[in-house]
A and B are shown apart, each in its own frame.
Chain A
Amino acid sequence: MASTTSAGSDTTPGRRRHTPRLTKRDKTVLFVMVAIPTLIELVLIWLPTLASVALSFTRWDGIKLNDIKPAGIQNYNYVVNTYTPFWPAVQHNVEWLLALAIIATPFGLLLAVLLDQQIKGSRIYQSIFFTPVMLSLALVGIIWRLIYDRDYGLLNGVLGTAGHSNATDWLGDSKINIWAAIVAASWKHAGYVMILYLAGLKGIDPSLKEAASLDGASAWQSFWRVVFPSMRPINIVIVVITLIEALRAFDIVWVINKGQNGLELLSALIVRNLIGEGQDIGVGSAIAVVLMIVSLVPIVWYLSRVFRKGADL
């Protein structure tokens, strides 16, 4: 994907040729072609995003527009110092990120490397690992409930504790349920990473791989010294996907218990404050702004790489 960004135009001679000027009509047409989608993007994405920033400095129950009252940084103060679920949510987002980054993503890479070898049945393996990627995270949450259920789930059934009072409550015990949710999310994430890395590995000149291994370097070394670095564009994409997935995580925990009791995540807290019965737009927006600022770090980093002039990803 991103590899296409370097764009054929660099090498095509077209830019030096004289191109006929566009007619006035063409300009109008092109303008409209750009203007409509841009307007949609601005009005439905960026305007609300900015409005969230504005609302985070107000108190509002979300019912009547003229009830909006300025509140300064009161909401931020409340969120950071008083609102008890906030810091657990931050911690859970970090845990989610670390688990994806340290376990799920490398696991996807491992699968890709194994399957990139000429191995019998590679396609079947790939299809199996890839299946969860097709499923919605909401559905992933529901399917995994059947595994995790304390009294009826497969896991406790296999462990022989189902129905006993000492059975582990995988989704109800707030010390472990975040990890149960992360395992379910990883089930999907690893397949996603695998397919992207497979594409990356196919894109590498086979002679490069061979040269490295003929060099006497062990396969392990040749992979990390030669193959992995040459997948830089994919690596960047994977880093961004992992970060964004961890920040966006929502559906699974919402399906399990609406993001409470150990499953607090920033996204879920926002929604609890925005559309729950306890609607508190100012507080919800303040958390949204926190999440936005955190999200902008990887977004800006990524975009600056992709769109840097003449950057060769």
Chain B
Amino acid sequence: MSTLSIERADDPMAPTASDHSSGRRRRPRYGTHLFLIVMAVIWLIPLLWGFYTALRPQQSTIKHGYLSFAGPFNFKNFTDAWSQGGFATSFKNSAIITIPSVLLTLILASMVAFAVSRFNWKFNVTLLILFTAGNLLPPQILAAPLFQLFKHTPLPLSVSDSGDLLNTYFGVIAANTAFQLGFCTFVLSNYMKALPTDLTEAALVDGASAWRQYAQIIMPLCRPALAALGTLEVIWVYNDYFWALLLVSRGDRLPITTAINNLQGQFVSNDNLIAAGAIITVIPTLIVYLVLQRQFIAGLTLGASKG
């Protein structure tokens, strides 16, 4: 059942076998459709409303009310929000934080997963519990000591202008990596466990080293899982709000998700600009969603343990 379920989980949106087998009861379900359409519209309203608000100049909404359909409509709010909100910097920061975090997480998690899933070792359950439980903890629990730990980790001034891990991308990357590690380890170890043992045993007989087994046999086989997890993690790390909030106090080092909240302070009583800022922030996730939807959902369903 294990391997099968992974393949299925790859795309739960795909039609199931039942779609073909039981076509006989194909009567229209008006009630169901009505319900789904109403719900779908309700579901879309928040984003569409944000987009609509963002398209209108504030003067026009104040004059006609926010709930009105009077023009003009333009992208001025978007360009204003972009230039006033420092989005270019925030997006760059998000990229600098997200990409290394995801790569590190996947590399580190796959190494542990490989060792505990392909080799018998008396502590492997303990280890997996350690990782998985760590991922499920609310992050606020460890906030204060982590902050102190980072504060007291000296770094040369050439690397960090603060002389420690605070206010550096390193700090945020480290926190994100550590926190996401548990989930990826859990998922990957399950995935690797489900790969046939013969594969590596044959290699072992041939004298392949453990590292070669990992790098040349197991990792290539894990590509679907890695792609799925990678997509998921990019979204999660991009969406993370807390670590940067805790560890970074410089406006010009904040990733976009944390910086967006500052816009609220900056653009008070200009909901149009706030809406534009919010929509700009959504765009990268929507692109990932449209392009990599399959991977994202596969990642979620592969390891639904993520809280």
Contacts and interface: CB of A to CB of B under 8 A. Distances in A.
> When A and B assemble into the complex, do they touch directly, with CB atoms less than 8 Å apart?
yes
B13 A126 contact: yes
Interface in B214-229: 214
B72 interface: no
A91 to B, nearest CB: 18
B271 A152 contact: yes
Contacts of B65: 157, 162-163
A157 to B, nearest CB: 3
Contacts, number: 372
Q: Interface centre among A14, A139, A206, by most B CB within 10 Å?
A: A139
A187 B46 contact: yes
Q: Interface centre among B6, B50, B141, B305, by most A CB within 10 Å?
A: B141
A177 B35 CA distance: 27
Contacts of A62: 144, 148
Interface in A33-79: 33-34, 36-38, 40-49, 51-52, 55, 62, 65
A3 B4 CA distance: 10
A217 interface: no
- The main secondary structure of chain B at its interface with chain A is helix
Nearest to B3: A8
Interface string B7-49: 0110011111111011100100100110110011001111101
Contacts of A27: 210
A96 interface: no
B305 A302 contact: yes
Contacts of A19: 201, 204
Interface string B89-128: 0000000000000000000110110111001000001011
Contacts of A274: 140, 143-144, 147
Interface in B124-143: 125, 127-134, 136-143
Nearest to B130: A41
Nearest to A142: B278
Given A9-B197, A111-B39, A195-B300, A134 B235 contact: yes
B281 A139 contact: yes
Contacts of B190: 1-2, 4-5, 7
B160 interface: no
A240 B138 contact: no
Contacts of A251: 241-242
Interface in A132-191: 132-139, 142-147, 149, 152-154, 157-158, 162-163, 187, 191
- The main secondary structure of chain A at its interface with chain B is helix
A17 B204 CA distance: 12
A144 B274 CA distance: 11
Contact of A307 (B26, B128, B141, B302): B128
A25 B209 contact: yes
B78 interface: no
A19 to B, nearest CB: 6
Interface in A225-258: 234, 237-238, 240-241, 244-245, 247-248, 250-251, 254-255
Q: Which 6 A-B pairs have the closest CB atoms?
A: A14-B197, A157-B67, A244-B307, A136-B239, A51-B145, A48-B142
Interface of A: 1-9, 12, 14-15, 17, 19-20, 22-23, 25-27, 29-30, 33-34, 36-38, 40-49, 51-52, 55, 62, 65, 111, 114-120, 122-139, 142-147, 149, 152-154, 157-158, 162-163, 187, 191-192, 195-196, 198-199, 201-203, 206, 209-210, 234, 237-238, 240-241, 244-245, 247-248, 250-251, 254-255, 267, 270-271, 274-275, 281, 284-285, 288-289, 291-292, 295, 298-300, 302-303, 306-307
Interface of B: 1-3, 5-6, 8-9, 12-19, 21-23, 26, 29, 32-33, 35-36, 39-40, 43-47, 49-50, 53, 61, 65-67, 108-109, 111-112, 114-116, 119, 125, 127-134, 136-149, 152, 174-175, 177-179, 181-182, 185, 187, 190-191, 193-198, 201, 204-205, 209-211, 214, 235, 238-242, 245-246, 257-258, 260-261, 264, 271, 274-275, 278, 281-282, 285-286, 288-289, 293, 296-297, 300-307
23 contacts: A4-B191, A6-B1, A7-B190, A14-B197, A19-B204, A38-B130, A41-B181, A48-B144, A55-B144, A119-B32, A129-B39, A129-B43, A133-B300, A137-B239, A139-B282, A192-B300, A195-B300, A237-B304, A241-B305, A255-B261, A255-B264, A274-B143, A285-B144
